[in-house]
Chain A
Amino acid sequence: MIQKDGIATQEMIDSITPSAERRSKGPVAVVECFQSIPCNPCYTSCPRKAMKELIDINDMPQVNTDICNGCGVCISHCPGLAIFVIDETYGDNQCLIKMPYEFTPLPSEGDYVTATDRGGKPVCRGKVVKVVNTPMQDRTPIIHLVVPKEFSMIVRSLNINDIYDDNTYICRCEELTLGELREYIRKGYTTLDEIKRITRAGMGPCQGRTCRQLIMNEIAKLTGVKPQDQLMSTFRPPVKPVKLGFYAQEDTDNE
């Protein structure tokens, strides 16, 4: 219960979740403020006047999502750390969550962390893409965290330790763990191609669609060579696994 543990119920979350249509259009503020308290910086800080006017200071805030452009100015102004900006258009099946974060140490850009839910339970791996901590934020830094899109309304905090440990499978097809991968990188297999050839990672049925990025990120972490500067292995046909018998069909069979 929110009175006891401070965690909002699903009904409460549903009541403030921006419509799917709005979410598909870009960044938008999600204000998770559910109690009547004498507080209004969200309203006063918004440069676009996207927050409904709080006639009584005890009123609960409401965002007009048509006006809000997700700029995030309100995030650091909220003393309750109740405001988030979510952007489901961030990338392929990815979502960017801008969240207030007042713990130390702060994560750094590029870090992989454990994305957690409102209660602090681990949800998934998240990547920190930006840490905003200027005098403007007044000691309430904003972390930009990228997580799979389906967690846009679930992930609300983070633990700076990576959710992946040495036993985590990086390549499920060929059963390569992160610990093994790190060992290979330390031994001098520092390109995706070398890792692939020596461990078979990426040669399985998925042909590296899952592990390729993970491996390149890990190489980046241990060698300092950014993924975009690393050598990419060649993409080979077929794009999807297809049965030999299919290719062997005489053309007449297809007609």
Chain B
Amino acid sequence: MNKSASVVIIGGGISGNAIAYELAKRGQKDIVLLEKKFLTAGSTGRCGAGIRMQWGTKLNCIMSKYSVERYEHLNEELDYEHDIEFKQGGYLMCAATSKEMEQFALNVKLQNSLGIPSRMITPQEALEIIPYINTDYMIGGAFCQKDGHLNPFHTTQAFANAAQRLGVCIEKFTTVTGIDVDNGKVIGVQTDKGYIATNVVVDCAGGYSQYIAKMAGIDLPLYSQRHQILVTEPVEPLQGPMFMGFAHNIYCQQSPHGSFIMGRGDDEEPKDGRITSGWTFLEEMAKNCVKLLPLLKDLTVVRQWSGLYNMSPDKQPIYGHAPNVEGFYMASGFSGHGFMFGPVTGVVMAEMILGLSPTVDASQLCFDRFEKGQLFIEPSVV
């Protein structure tokens, strides 16, 4: 293993790999990415991999639009030998209450002003998009055809392969065990495979980022909560878009491969780092799904699993430099929507680290927002 590096990236999920690629693309040499297991072993390999531009704040709309546009051409851009399987089947956001309808109307207006082709829909129009929605439980909704989902394994691998071609060294099965700080500056990273001297560390450890920060003496206001998800046997194409409801607490999509993937949130889920699977989830998920999308009752569940949401105080990511420790950067606290931001995370972080002028100004998401009491409030999060 390398004894020294200009930049050490910790975490082999979508964030770490995208950052590695964007740094290398901008000419950064001697980048090492450390992953304690294999690429996508963390939340990235466990997520629903949905991507939507239907957000309620300007910055999230801009960041997701940037990411969608990059994903549209990512196979070619990264010269990927397989397919990242970006399917733009749309996101159908189902409104259950008039309060939700009002919020959607505001969102759609904002989105349209930024060039995002979303629109409000009636229950009747929803049926034209997904013919088996039980409209008894919806008063309307919003739809954007350009939203969709990807294959998270291939997407991450595509960034990893491209980064490696640009000279990035990816060390799998290497666990970071400590970060050495001297005089307020990062000087090196300890791992179970040896020591790497470096002045720049990027913490992209997903559900473990607060522990990595702790190694450098930094307290991040983050916690990790379990989220569960399940997949069915593949069937013929039935459903174009992702079906999503905040009040109904559901997201449900059909992958290009035919299987349905669905999940829901639950405040009661453990926050101790557990990623086991529970029976209650299966029952609640099934009830919800069969109630809202009755046709799906005959689908066969083949597997359920879970992963961590790395939650920040305002359910928005933290990008950039950590307070007090020079050379410590982070892209963490994604709060359940970090996969879709992969491309923008890569660019924003690479530009922050290299001191370049930003393609997308994400300074509102820097750590100092907590110190200044300027939380970033996004109305449309799960």
A247 in contact with B287 (CB, 8 Å): yes
What residues on A are CB-neighbors of B101 within 8 Å?
Answer: none
Contact A243 B300 (CB under 8 A): yes
Stretch at the interface among B36-44, B116-124, B326-334: B36-44
Contact across chains for A198 and B305 when beta carbons are under 8 A apart = no
Is A194 within 8 A of B303, CB to CB? no
Interface residues of A in 204-255 (CB under 8 A from B): 204-205, 207, 231, 234, 236-238, 241-248
Asked whether any CB of chain A lies closer than 8 Å to the CB of B290, the reply is yes
Is B302 touching A204 in the complex (CB atoms < 8 A)?
Answer: yes
Nearest residue in B to A192 (C-beta to C-beta)?
B38
A244 close to B296 (CB less than 8 A): yes
Indicate whether A12 reaches chain B with its CB closer than 8 angstroms: no
Complexed CA–CA distance, A245 and B303 (Å): 15
Once the chains bind, are B282 and A241 in contact (CB under 8 Å)?
no
B45 at the interface (CB under 8 A from A): yes
Contact A243 B301 (CB under 8 A): yes
Which B116-165 residues sit within 8 Å CB-CB of chain A?
Answer: 153-154, 157
Please tell me if the beta carbons of B303 and A236 are within 8 angstroms of each other in the complex.
yes
For the complex, give the distance between the alpha carbons of A120 and B374 in Å: 79
CB-CB under 8 A from B298, the residues of chain A are 243-245
A198-B153, A203-B303 as given contacts; A193 in contact with B297, CB under 8 Å = no
Residues on B with beta carbons closer than 8 Å to the beta carbon of A130? none
Q: Which of A194, A244, A248 contacts B232 (CB 8 A)?
A: A244
Cβ 8 A contact of A237, one of B289, B290, B304: B304
Q: Say yes or no for A200: interface residue by CB 8 A criterion.
A: yes
Contact residues in B for A194 (Cβ distance below 8 Å): 38-39
Say yes or no: is B257 at the interface (Cβ < 8 Å to chain A). Answer: yes
CA distance A203 to B153 in the complex (A): 13
Q: Is the CB of A207 within 8 A of B153?
A: no
Pair A244/B301 contact, Cβ less than 8 Å = yes
Tally of A interface residues using CB under 8 Å: 23
Chain A residues with Cβ below 8 Å from B286 are: 244-248
Which residues of B sit under 8 angstroms from A242, Cβ to Cβ?
A: 300-301
Nearest-Cβ distance from residue B255 to partner chain A, whole angstroms: 10
Q: Considering only CB atoms, which chain B residue lies closest to A189 in the complex?
A: B38
Indicate the member of A191, A205, A248 with the most B CB atoms within 10 Å.
A248
Contact between B300 and A247, CB atoms less than 8 A apart: no
Asked whether, in the complex, the Cβ of B283 is within 8 Å of the Cβ of A247, the reply is yes
In the complex, whether B233 has a CB less than 8 A from a CB of chain A is yes
Contacts of A245 in B (CB 8 A): 286, 290, 297-298
On whether the beta carbons of A244 and B297 are closer than 8 Å, the reply is yes
Chain B contributes a number of interface residues (CB within 8 A of A) equal to 35
Cβ-defined contact, B301 with A193, below 8 A = no
Contact A207 B299 (CB under 8 A): no
| CB <8 Å contact, A191 and B38 | yes
Known contacts A191-B38, A200-B257; decide if A244 and B299 are in contact (CB<8 Å).
yes
Inter-chain contact A247/B282, CB cutoff 8 Å: yes
A104 to chain B, nearest CB (A): 41
Contact A241 B41 (CB under 8 A): no
The verdict on A197 contacting chain B, using a C-beta distance below 8 Å, is yes
Contacting pair A198 B297 (CB below 8 A): no
Residues of B within 8 A of A205 (CB): 233, 300, 302
**B312 interfacial by beta-carbon distance below 8 Å:** no
A241 and B82 CA atoms in complex are apart in Å by: 29
Interface string of B252-289 (1 = CB under 8 A from A): 00000100000000000000000001010011011101
Most buried by A among B37, B82, B286, B302: B302
> Does A238 contact B38, Cβ atoms closer than 8 Å?
no
Residues of chain B with a CB closer than 8 A to A248's CB: 283, 286-287, 289-291, 297
CA distance A203 to B46 in the complex (A): 13
Contacting residues, chain B, for A247 (C-beta < 8 A): 282-283, 285-287, 301
Rounded to whole Å, the gap between the CB of A172 and the closest CB of chain B is: 13
Collect the chain A residues with CB atoms within 8 Å of residue B39's CB: 194
Per the bound structure, the CA–CA distance linking A10 and B279 in Å amounts to: 52
Asked if A198 and B157 sit within 8 Å, CB to CB, the answer is: yes
Chain B: CB-nearest residue to A206: B302
Chain A residues within 8 Å of B157, by CB: 198
B290: chain A residues at CB < 8 Å are 244-245, 248
Provide the bound-state CA to CA distance between A242 and B38, in Å. 30
**Interface readout for B213-241 with A: 1 if CB under 8 Å, 0 if not?**
00000000000000000011110000000
Q: Which residues of A contact B41 (CB under 8 A)?
A: 193
Determine if B300 and A237 form an interchain contact, defined as CB atoms under 8 angstroms apart. Answer: no
A130-148 vs B, CB cutoff 8 Å, 1 = contact: the mask equals: 0000000000000000000
Contacts of B289 in A (CB 8 A): 244, 248
The docked-state distance in angstroms from the alpha carbon of A197 to that of B300 is 21
Please indicate the chain A residues that have their CB under 8 angstroms from the CB of B291 in the complex: 248
By the criterion CB–CB under 8 Å, are A238 and B301 in contact?
A: yes
CB-CB under 8 A from B299, the residues of chain A are 243-244
Q: B233, B257, B301 — which one has the most chain A CB atoms within 10 A of its CB?
A: B301
Contacting pair A236 B277 (CB below 8 A): yes
Residues of B within 8 A of A197 (CB): 38, 40, 45, 153
Residue of A191, A200, A238 touching B304 (CB-CB under 8 A): A238
Bound complex: CA A234 to CA B45 (Å): 13
A-B contact list, 24 entries, CB within 8 Å: A191-B38, A194-B38, A197-B38, A197-B45, A204-B234, A205-B233, A231-B37, A237-B277, A237-B279, A237-B282, A237-B304, A238-B282, A238-B302, A241-B301, A243-B301, A244-B299, A244-B300, A245-B290, A247-B283, A247-B301, A248-B283, A248-B289, A248-B291, A248-B297
A-B contact sample (9 more), CB < 8 A, given A203-B231, A237-B304: A193-B41, A197-B38, A197-B153, A198-B154, A200-B257, A207-B302, A236-B305, A237-B277, A237-B282
